[in-house]
């Protein structure tokens, strides 16, 4: 019976700690049309080389299909 009480008290304290962390991380931070923060825009990723298809030859030079070599 002591184990049930101990496990309940542990889960309650861990839930309380998680709630406190969540409240502190978002305090005073509002997003929306009137957001006055200087958010950085994310630039799209630009590949230096063309994307290798699964059935294309592997670029490592093994003469295998990409899916059988490095595409795993």
The Cα–Cα gap between 30 and 37 comes to 9
Residues present in the chain in total: 72
55 confidence band (pLDDT: 50, 70, 90): very high
What is residue 23's predicted lDDT score, i.e. its pLDDT? 46
Among 36, 17, 33, smallest CA distance to 25 is for: 17
Q: Which residue has better confidence, 69 or 32?
A: 69
pTM above threshold 0.75 = no
The Cα–Cα gap between 64 and 50 comes to 18
What is residue 72's predicted lDDT score, i.e. its pLDDT? 84
Among 35, 71, 36, smallest CA distance to 53 is for: 71
pLDDT tens per residue, range 3-52: 555 555 555 555 555 545 444 455 566 677 767 667 677 888 898 888 99
Residues 6 or more apart whose Cβ sits within 8 Å of residue 49: 59
């Amino acid at each position: 019976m002591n184990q049930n009480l101990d496990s309940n008290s542990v889960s309650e304290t861990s839930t309380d700690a998680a709630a406190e962390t969540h409240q502190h991380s978002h305090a005073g931070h509002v997003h929306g049309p009137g957001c006055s923060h200087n958010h950085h825009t994310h630039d799209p990723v630009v590949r230096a080389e063309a994307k290798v298809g699964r059935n294309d030859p592997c670029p490592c030079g093994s003469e295998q299909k990409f899916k059988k070599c490095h595409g795993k």
